[in-house]
Amino acid sequence: MYVILGSLAALPAFRCWYLGGDFGLVTDFGIMVIINASGGDIYATHLLDKAIGMNFGVPDPSYLTMHVLAVVGALFYEQGLISVHRDSLSKGLTLSA
């Protein structure tokens, strides 16, 4: 399910690149992938569980960090989508163009 949803998120970036050669949205998508993968790495290795969990009593800090980084990555991609939309509106293009 995560692979399917992630693939769907890539469609606007690759469509934008295909139609106009704009690498800005593809770059924003790449940043999102790197941030989300970093969160996944932290969760998979339980890196913060040993350091923070024992000292501060936070339950499963690696899991929480993964979700925070997923939201941060989505915000980067959202800003890219908004900038592409504003750029297309300034050129007089509609969403179907």
What is the pLDDT, as a whole number, of residue 53?
66
Give the pair of three-digit tokens for residue 58. Answer: 């936070």
Mean residue pLDDT of the chain comes to 80
Residues in the chain: 97
Nearest Cα neighbor of 47 from 60, 62, 65 is 62
Which tens digits make up the pLDDT trace of 46-81?
888 877 766 677 778 889 999 999 999 999 888 888
* H helices, E strands: number in the chain: 5, 0
Query: How many Cα atoms within 13 Å fall on the side-chain side of residue 77?
Result: 23
How high is the pLDDT of residue 71?
Answer: 94
- Average pLDDT over every residue of 34-46: 89
Please, are residues 62 and 50 in contact by the beta-carbon 8 Å criterion? no
Q: Pick 65 or 84 by higher pLDDT.
A: 65
17 has a pLDDT exceeding 80:
no
pTM: 0.74
Query: CB neighbours of 69 closer than 8 A, spacing ≥ 6?
Result: 35, 36, 38, 39, 42
- Residue 18 identity (one-letter amino acid): Y
